[in-house]
Chain A
Amino acid sequence: MVQALRVGGEIEGGAGVVGDDALFAALYPGLRRFAAVTGPAEVDPDDLVQEAVARTLRRHQLCELDDAAAYLRRVIVNLASNHRRGLARWRAVVPRLGRDDDGSVPEYTSDLADLLRLPLQTRALLYLVAVDGQSYAAAGAVVGLSEEAARARAARARKQLRLDLEGEQ
């Protein structure tokens, strides 16, 4: 994807944080959409992107990365998983505060609800393949699956979505 985002010109070395600005501006829309699809429904996509970038910047400048888009997507997937687990921890803390809301997933009454019921790795996989047009090998690498496993996971998810759709109809 980084190649696709190089709009004329080659990447120069040593671009530093100024280069990071330009690179991130180019990557941001795609990363945000990926975060919106992958992240738990309660998490604001920008929060997820922000946290992914913050964690990355503690170790690297974005321009240093061979494929910043893929790297950040992997971080987003991992963070999304952490948040899903974190929500469970939050629910354990909430009763001590006597709150009514327990951080449960808000209801999506639209056709997006089917998608949101899929595991987040599967959502990420489907997005990369169906929207981004990536190969199963590349998409699988982002979510930590082999090409075969990614293909099988996507096929099962599509089948499930079809069944959900038929059920709704």
Chain B
Amino acid sequence: MDDLRRRMEALGERGEPRGAARVLAAARRDSGGSGGRRARLLTALAITASVTLVGGVAAAVLGTNEDDAPAHETAAPTTPESTTTTEPEATTTTAAPAPTTTEVPVSAAVVKASRLVQFNTCGQYLSYVKTKAALVVTQFGLPEMYPRFGPPPPPPTTSAPGQQAGAAQVLGTGSGGGGGEFSQTNVQEAGIDEPDVMKTDGRTIFTVDSASNLRAVAPGNNPHVLSTLPVPGAQQMFLIGDRVVILGYSTGDGVGPKAMIAVVDVARPSAMRLLSRMDVDGYILSARLVRGVPRVVIQGSPEVQWSAPDDYQDPASVEGARSRNREFVARSGLADWLPNFKMTEGPRKGRTGQLTSCSAAYHPPGFAGFATLSVMTLNIDDPTRSHASSVVADGQIVYGSANRIYVATSRWGEIRADGSASPASETLIHEFDITDPTEAAYRVSGKVRGVALNQFSLSEDDGYLRVATSDPNFGAESFVSVLQDVGKALIQVGQVGGLGKGEQIRSVRFIGKTAYVVTFRQIDPLYVVDVSDPRKPVVRGELKLLGYSAYLHPIGDGLLLGVGVDANEEGRRAGLAVNLFDVSDPSTPKLVQHRGLGAGFSDIEFDHHAFLWWPATKLMMVPIVSYDAQYNPDFVGAIGLRIDRSAVDEVGRVKPPFKSGYPAPVQRTIVIGAHVYSLSSSGVMQSALNDLHPEAFVQY
């Protein structure tokens, strides 16, 4: 019985948890986006198609007794102790070993193979998609979900690490009710804002809850809700002066999912006013706010009601459905393929249009699916005058720098005349120029071997794009590649490979000219990669310990903070952990502090927006849901930790009141003046910055 239980529990740990909040958000999107038979069929096909790879990846990660061992042996990995601060002897540092550096010559062929092709006319566009669709349409419609690499479409949250130590957590100053300095959303690049569920200008806190209510909360001595504005479908927002731009989904008419973009006047937070609301075909992949201009990346799929066989076992029924779908492709028009928008609120309510013009649409040289990826430059005064550039491709990861937005997408093989395709483990990266505040202009494309994990896998520095990828095929191997925009293409100019043989990347952080790459299967090698010479990136050092860090955050002084999981010697998850690394000497990274936080999950593992680092008091806030041996929650809230080279001490805990009899997980924490504000589904808790003792609670 014990053996059966042990095996059951081990099987129950397979895969990488995405976290309750993320799964629920995606489920809500799925449930509201497109009901009905077509959605069910596409969902079934999509998951069926994608599970092949996901399962393979999961097996590779969790198949702890698999034959192929990690390339680099560790001398004596030790299980970190739980819930205690330990000395760093649990680690083993090895000399920088096998990784290989490759300098890649730029050739005309490479340039040609990388560049997107612009459609000059709508006729060209329509001809392209119809020709491709006719080759592959089935009795279920388009097999648009070929097995692909990378994570499933995330909710419109994004995650990314920053360039400067501690700089990504932008500081502001306020003089209102809160007073003093305040924290802002933890973003990848300083000055490049990302949408989130909690924003503040220091005077007012704005939140979006899962019931799609935008709330304005006054912080300070008497925190209270100033006003509430329901915005159906709202998921995240930007705060731009006296405007809030809300991003989410719509359950409006149509076959496929609809993205929703709303603009709210918050000049008077006690009387917020909806100015406009726009529905767009597709869903929001991510967004960035650069120099006050929102750039929204939207992934759309063809708006088609495909036929499906009534009886899968009946050949006549199957052929009938296939024929109807072929006929549809032959008869389809532009509106069936290109994304459209519709104003649903505001002075231009009822106005509809095509999101992008055909001449602003592109396709990769190799076929990349039927989805349309659009970078929309939002005009918040009149959304109908927004501009969008589109690519007929799938998109998964969005990275934004001050002047560029990069969209990374899986690359599928060219579809041949016989309808066959050959997927390859490659990541296509499309570069858009956002120096013009009125539009995002496509520039170039490039590709690298392997699959990028998330936005932290990409980083721009001095005109070079650095990309960390894993190739899950053939035993798995990870790379750090450097690409350069040479005018006609994004060309790989250097690469170091051989990282984490048999493992895959679990987190990445680029800081200046250095990349920190964590791979994992049973142990966690932290690689320090020097990319100061873009053409010859080299591994300077390596550190191994059990478990892995899912999020890395530089806190200055040569220290790197890791939030992730402890694992046992079989590679199975043993709990949540915080690690502090000394990376001041790239050749010998050291673990200087480790603190286990027990069995549980933190949203930080999946969404860096949940992370708060407050440098002034060296405070890190960790939202956590921890469980006892029977998997019942034993603490749901946030833990404050004081991080120092010599110790990691618990400052206090925030435990929000229950909501409807259930514990309310903390989603975000921010600092305003001498207070910490924690957002949960039950409301906003105000705690003292020095010891986190509760001061007030604003009930939602």
Contacts and interface: CB of A to CB of B under 8 A. Distances in A.
Given A37-B8, A41-B59, A97 B419 contact: yes
Interface string A92-109: 010011110101011111
A6 B636 CA distance: 13
B107 interface: no
A8 interface: yes
A50 B633 CA distance: 20
Contacts of A55: 31
A66 interface: no
Contact of A21 (B59, B64, B681): B681
A5 to B, nearest CB: 6
Contacts of A161: 4
B129 interface: no
A137 interface: no
A29 B627 contact: yes
A127 interface: yes
Interface in A12-34: 12, 15-26, 28-30, 32-34
B681 A22 contact: yes
A25 B665 CA distance: 7
Interface string B418-446: 11111100000000000000000000000
A43 interface: yes
Contact of B661 (A12, A32, A87, A109): A12
Given A11-B660, A20-B210, A21-B659, A28 B20 contact: yes
Contact of B54 (A29, A43, A82, A109): A43
A12 B27 CA distance: 23
Interface string B620-659: 0000010100111100100000000000000000000011
Interface in B290-306: none
A22 B211 CA distance: 12
A105 B65 CA distance: 17
A36 B26 contact: no
A167 to B, nearest CB: 15
Contacts of B147: 99, 101, 103
Contacts of B681: 18-19, 21-22
A106 B56 CA distance: 6
A29 B18 CA distance: 11
Contacts of B633: 5, 7, 25-26
Interface stretch (B44-52, B278-286, B519-527, B590-598): B44-52
B48 A20 contact: no
B659 A89 contact: no
Interface string B665-700: 100000000000000011000000000000000001
Nearest to A105: B55
B530 interface: no
B66 interface: yes
A41 B55 contact: yes
Contacts of B29: 54
A34 B31 contact: no
A4 B632 contact: yes
A109 B8 contact: no
Contact of B7 (A43, A44, A112): A112
B27 A96 contact: no
Contacts of A26: 633, 636, 662-663
Contact of B47 (A47, A101, A126): A47
A110 B63 contact: yes
Given A7-B662, A22-B664, A36 B12 contact: yes
Contacts of A37: 8, 11-12
A112 B659 contact: no
Interface string B15-33: 1011111011011111110
Main secondary structure of the interface of A (DSSP, over half): helix
Interface in A31-73: 32-34, 36-37, 40-47, 49-58, 63
A116 interface: yes
A111 interface: yes
Given A51-B47, A97-B421, A110 B64 contact: yes
Contacts of B10: 112
Contacts of B4: 126, 130, 158, 161
Given A6-B662, A98-B416, A109-B67, A25 B54 contact: no
B67 A49 contact: no
Nearest to A84: B48
A46 B15 contact: yes
Interface string A111-142: 11011100000010011001100000000000
A53 B27 contact: yes
A24 B312 CA distance: 35
A50 B23 contact: yes
A32 B418 CA distance: 40
A8 B660 contact: no
Contact of B211 (A16, A106, A114, A123): A16
A136 B11 CA distance: 21
Interface string B359-400: 000000000000000000000000000000000000000000
Nearest to B36: A58
A54 B59 contact: no
Contacts of A40: 51, 55
Contacts of B55: 40-44, 105-106
Contact of B625 (A25, A63, A86): A25
B52 A11 contact: no
B504 interface: no
A93 B143 contact: yes
B419 A96 contact: yes
A85 to B, nearest CB: 9
Contacts of B9: 33, 131
B661 A9 contact: yes
A90 B24 contact: no
A42 B49 CA distance: 10
A33 B422 CA distance: 34
B566 interface: no
Contacts of B15: 36, 44-46
Given A18-B681, A22-B658, A89 B312 contact: yes
Most buried by A among B138, B658, B660, B681: B660
Contacts of B47: 43, 47, 51, 83, 86
Nearest to A34: B12
B109 interface: no
A10 interface: yes
B136 interface: yes
Given A22-B681, A23-B660, A103-B52, 14 more contacts: A5-B662, A8-B661, A17-B211, A21-B664, A44-B51, A45-B15, A46-B18, A47-B50, A50-B30, A89-B48, A89-B312, A93-B143, A130-B4, A158-B4
14 contacts: A18-B209, A22-B659, A24-B24, A33-B12, A36-B15, A42-B51, A46-B17, A53-B24, A97-B136, A97-B146, A99-B420, A112-B7, A115-B8, A127-B8
Query: Which 6 residue pairs spanning A and B have beta carbons closest together?
Result: A98-B420, A42-B55, A33-B12, A22-B662, A54-B30, A28-B20
